[in-house]
Amino acid sequence: MPLAVRTVIDAAAHGLRALTFDQRMAGGLFLLLALLPPLSPVLGGGYLLLIGERAMVLGLAAISLELLIGAGGMVSFGHAAFLGIGAYGAGIAASHGLGTLSVALPAALAASALFALATGAIAVRTRGVYFIMITLAFGQMAFFVATSLAPYGGDDGLSWPGRTLVFGTRLLEGRTTFFYVTLLLTVAAYVLVSRLIGSRFGRVLRGLTDSETRMQAIGFAPYPFRLTAYVIAGTLCGLAGFLIGNHAEFVSPAYMHWTRSGELIVMVLLGGTGTVYGPIIGALAFVLLEEILSRLTEHWKAILGPLLVLVVLFARGGLAGGIEAWRRRKLTPAQLLASLERRARETTAGAGHRAAQIAATSGRLARETATRVGAVWRAWRVVLHHWLGALVLSAKRGAAGARPWATALGRRLESLVQSAERGIAAAVDRWRRR
């Protein structure tokens, strides 16, 4: 008996050693999640399962986004569109009485794949910020189309008639069953994405992120690789949409709002990009944070916001980055505290110094402005003076110059009149002599 146990343990250890750190972390996470349904009566009941489902679905969406951000270097700010399109695809099929697995799931996947292909064909041509913006624009387009889908609820959203039927049975209605289905699909997505990133395709994609020019030089065209990654990520996120629609039995345009896309980016970064288990941890952390903070206060976003800023400023690499540093013993808790304290001290000292600097600069600026204004005024005064003086002078000159001209005119008039008189007198004289 002990021998058998030992064999099993040895085999397990051997298996574990074959796994990468990423896979071990993800495995542990999935194991914890799998234990949730049996433990839920002790831990707080069905509510916990609902939170768990939400976290897993968002984790699945975040994994698909990680394929774009982490491997492809493409920061999509419209990824939530696929979440909504998946949910709408299945929901619209269901509202026509076609809510079966054989129709609803392909509808969800095909709709998101088509949208990814159509928008990706344009978006992938752009780089960097332009890519962020154009995906945002496409996300907004999908959002507005959804709000104007009057036959399917428009702004108010679409209530599903029920969860998707699996071969005519209501298999997904069972809470535990649905939880495990979601878990299974999330695991599948994790395996798919980590395999993809490790494959030749993924290596080309990462190479393109590092240096597009070099990849082109050794004969890889960026466009097809990027577009394929975009379509795969979109379709995977459509699967997440299918699940979240089933989870809520409802879909609304709010699923596609741009802040939701922002939240997906937050999950990926909070967890740590560059790893595949990171996005799952990020989604879990985000959902938990949301739950805990929204219980503390209705203004929980006012706490979450600064928290995000702090994560960006001080915790580069996210949670996975922290785990990695800790694993390599770079950072013990004491060291972490010390470094945080040092940073805080530096920041406060820097702030004082900066305030003094700002005061000095603004004082100098004010003085400079004053002198400059003075100089401008002096220059203008000279100009004005000259100009006015010249004007007066020319007026005077004009008056003076006009006088001889007038006398000359008068003289000429006089002589004209005189000669006319003389002429008339001569004419009269001649007429008399006749």
Partner 1 sequence: MSATLFVVQVLNGLQLGILLFLVAAGLTLVFGVMDFINLAHGVQYMLGAYLAVTFYWLTGSVFASVALTLPASLLLGLALEVVVFRHLYERHHLEQVLATFGVILFLNQGVKIVWGAAPLNMPAPDLLSGSIPLMEGLRYPVYRFAIMAAGLAVAALLYVCVTSTRVGMLVRAGATNAPMVSALGVDIKQLFMLVFGCGAMLAGFAGAMVVPILSVEPGMGDQILILAFVVIVIGGIGSIRGAFIAALLVGVIDTLGRSFATDALRLFLGPSTARIIGPALASMAIYLLMAVVLAVRPAGLFPTRGHA
Interaction site with partner 1 (CB under 8 A):
69, 75, 77, 122, 125-130, 132-134, 136-138, 140-141, 144-145, 147-151, 258-259, 262, 265-266, 269, 273, 299, 301-302, 304-309, 311-313, 316, 351, 354, 358, 361
β-strand pairing of 250-251 with 158-159: antiparallel
Q: Which is nearer to partner 1, 6 or 353 (CB)?
A: 353
Q: Which is nearer to partner 1, 289 or 325 (CB)?
A: 289
Least distance from C-beta 393 to partner 1, angstroms? Answer: 34
Least distance from C-beta 327 to partner 1, angstroms? Answer: 23
Integer angstrom CA distances of residue 121 from 131, 197, 241, 427: 12, 21, 22, 107
Least distance from C-beta 216 to partner 1, angstroms? Answer: 16
Containing 173, the helix (H) or strand (E) segment is none
Least distance from C-beta 341 to partner 1, angstroms? Answer: 18
Per the DSSP assignment, residues forming a β-bridge with 347 are none
Containing 61, the helix (H) or strand (E) segment is helix 46-66
Q: Which is nearer to partner 1, 354 or 385 (CB)?
A: 354
**d(Cα 5, Cα 3) in Å, to the nearest integer?**
5
Least distance from C-beta 303 to partner 1, angstroms? Answer: 8
Least distance from C-beta 249 to partner 1, angstroms? Answer: 25
Among 108, 124, 147, 20, smallest CA distance to 72 is for 124
Q: Which is nearer to partner 1, 115 or 179 (CB)?
A: 115
Considering only the C-alpha atoms of the chain, give the largest distance between any 2 of them, rounded to a whole number of Å. 174
**d(Cα 213, Cα 314) in Å, to the nearest integer?**
33
284: which residues sit within 8 A by CB, 6+ positions away?
29, 55, 59
Least distance from C-beta 104 to partner 1, angstroms? Answer: 23
16: which residues sit within 8 A by CB, 6+ positions away?
24
The DSSP letter of residue 219 is: T
Least distance from C-beta 112 to partner 1, angstroms? Answer: 18
The DSSP letter of residue 169 is: B
Structure tokens at 73: 């270097």
Least distance from C-beta 147 to partner 1, angstroms? Answer: 7
- Residue reference for tokens 């071990």: 24
Q: Angle at the Cα of 313 (from 309 to 315), degrees rounded to 5?
A: 105
Q: Is the separation of the CB atoms in 184 and 192 below 8 Å?
A: no
Q: Which is nearer to partner 1, 105 or 268 (CB)?
A: 268
Q: Which is nearer to partner 1, 343 or 396 (CB)?
A: 343
Q: Which is nearer to partner 1, 146 or 248 (CB)?
A: 146
Cβ density class 158-192: b for 16+ within 10 Å, e for less: bebeebbbbeeeeebeeeeebbebbbebbbebbeb
